[in-house]
Chains A and B, each alone.
With several copies, the nearest count.
Chain A
Amino acid sequence: SNNNSGTVSKRESVFCQQFQQYAQQLDAVNEKRERIVKASRDVTTSSKKVIFQIHRINRANRGAALQQAERDLHAVQSIHVRRVAQELKANETWKYKRAFSPGMQEFVEAATTLEFCKTGKLLTLQQLNASLSHLKDVSDAPFSISTGDYLLGVADLTGELMRLAISGVAAGQREVAIAVCGFVQALYKGFSQLPNTVDIRGMPKKMDLMLQSLIKIENTCYAVHVRGLEYPEDMIVNALEHEEIDSDQEA
């Protein structure tokens, strides 16, 4: 038995030496992944806050609130997205993809929502990546967001636009719904022409949600349109004019 445990100890050291290398490699990977996950969660949380901030915009505070959202978004980028970028070598993006994808998608969602509020246009992947090009990864190459993450983030944008359209109507800003409707129709068309790739997980489900949102937007536009037809245009304007100002102050 003494002899036996002696043998065990000796053998142990042989095996364990090999495994110490493995342990180092695994630890390095796991720790890096853990850091990236944390950074990504921070990207998610702070991007969500930007989106909440955008939903708080109304006619009265529009200028200031938009500027605030822009500043917040820039902070997300220069603080948290940077943390992700600094962890990655160029050839590691796919290795840690699942660790940072959720954050990048939420960031895309926030950035594109903000852009739509500002200009009514889609922030393109090129524009977005250009704005990130000062973030360098470990190998000093510019950091960029992948097509997959961009598309999944833009798919979620639809849901936010639906919320904007409906609360727009709720606040008497019927023109928002109409603008959103055309925009989301175009988006949905673009998405539905994409090939069905295995690479972008969860796309079919997001497409379904996108269609549900689009239908809600269309129904909202329909309601606005039908209501608007009962009386002549100028009568509506008269009836609502001073009230609109009212609702600005309230909101």
Chain B
Amino acid sequence: MEEQFAEFRAELDETGSVYEQLRIIAANLDSFIRLMQAALMPIHHCSFPQVKEKVKGYMSDLCGLYAQLAHVIKDKPGQYYRYHDLWRNQTSTVVFVLAFLHWLDTGGLLTHTETEALLNLDPAVFGIDLEDYLIGLCSFSNELPRYVVNRVTAGDYNCPKEVSTFLGDLYTAFRTLNLRNDHLRKRFDGIKYDLKKVEEVLYDVKIRGLLNGPSLQATATGNESNVATSHQ
């Protein structure tokens, strides 16, 4: 009996230590992501290229932290979900930051697979849970009304139209999901308030005949080539 319990003791001690390792990495991840988010926020008042460079500068360290998580989990096959709660919130925030950046850059939606690729993750070992990804998209949506308000204040009158189209598509896409009455459903419900606010700004701009006006000025500064140009 003694031998057997010696093994049990080893196993229990081991589990406790894995938990502790992951807890520490997740805490580092938490601090780090706050920095990234802080680097992204000036987008409300600064030019995009400046912000983009700063945020992208964090990517390799971020991948490093995820690699640490994946490394620990790799040795414990099948235990991703045993410890999943430790990095849920952080991952959603990462998705928020990367999806915002990607949209600023391309005007398109960062996909689930692209997110994993950006983070150098092998989904077979350590992927991004789908719900975490979708919640990240909701956070991204929540930031857009403020972005639109500030862009218009800065004289970019075409921004509301673009955001309204994008957000409308996202809302329509989300509506095709059959969500249970859970956290994700609540977060999704919030998107329509974002869309409503953006629509109100678009209305303000239209009613005043400002639409398409300032874009001429924008042209003057030579930023016409793609969607992202208006975010500079």
Contact = CB atoms under 8 A, between A and B. Distances in A.
Interface in B2-60: 2, 4-5, 8-9, 11-13, 15-16, 19, 30-31, 34-35, 37-38, 41-42, 44-47
Contacts of B41: 188-189, 192
Interface in A205-251: 215, 218-223, 225-227, 229-231, 235-236, 239-240, 243, 247, 250-251
A82 to B, nearest CB: 20
B226 interface: no
A15 B173 contact: yes
Contact of B12 (A11, A199, A227): A199
Contacts of A200: 12
A250 B173 contact: no
Nearest to B198: A170
Contacts of B146: 215, 218
B174 A19 contact: yes
A190 B16 CA distance: 18
A68 interface: no
Interface in B166-214: 168-180, 189, 192-193, 195-196, 199-201, 203-210
A198 B83 CA distance: 10
A191 B11 CA distance: 14
B220 interface: no
Nearest to A2: B47
B149 interface: yes
A176 to B, nearest CB: 12
B23 to A, nearest CB: 9
Interface in A171-195: 171-172, 185-195
B34 A147 contact: no
Interface size class of A (residues with CB under 8 A): 35 or more
B192 A167 contact: yes
A1 to B, nearest CB: 5
B82 A15 contact: no
Given A166-B193, A172-B199, A229-B208, A23 B38 contact: no
A119 interface: no
A12 B169 contact: yes
B207 A235 contact: yes
B77 interface: yes
Given A30-B180, A187-B1, A223-B200, A4 B154 contact: yes
Contacts of A215: 146
Given A90-B78, A239-B206, A167 B195 contact: yes
Interface string A135-155: 000000000000100010000
23 contacts: A8-B45, A11-B165, A15-B172, A19-B174, A55-B175, A56-B176, A94-B78, A163-B192, A170-B196, A185-B45, A188-B41, A189-B42, A193-B9, A193-B38, A195-B16, A196-B30, A197-B16, A198-B16, A218-B44, A222-B149, A226-B208, A229-B208, A247-B168
Given A22-B177, A170-B196, A172-B199, 7 more contacts: A15-B173, A56-B172, A124-B4, A151-B8, A196-B30, A218-B146, A229-B208
Interface of A: 1, 4-5, 7-8, 11-12, 14-16, 18-20, 22-23, 25-27, 29-30, 48-49, 52, 55-56, 90-95, 97, 122, 124-126, 147, 151, 163, 166-167, 169-172, 185-200, 215, 218-223, 225-227, 229-231, 235-236, 239-240, 243, 247, 250-251
What 6 A-B pairs come out closest when comparing CB atoms?
A91-B78, A190-B5, A94-B81, A192-B38, A15-B173, A19-B173
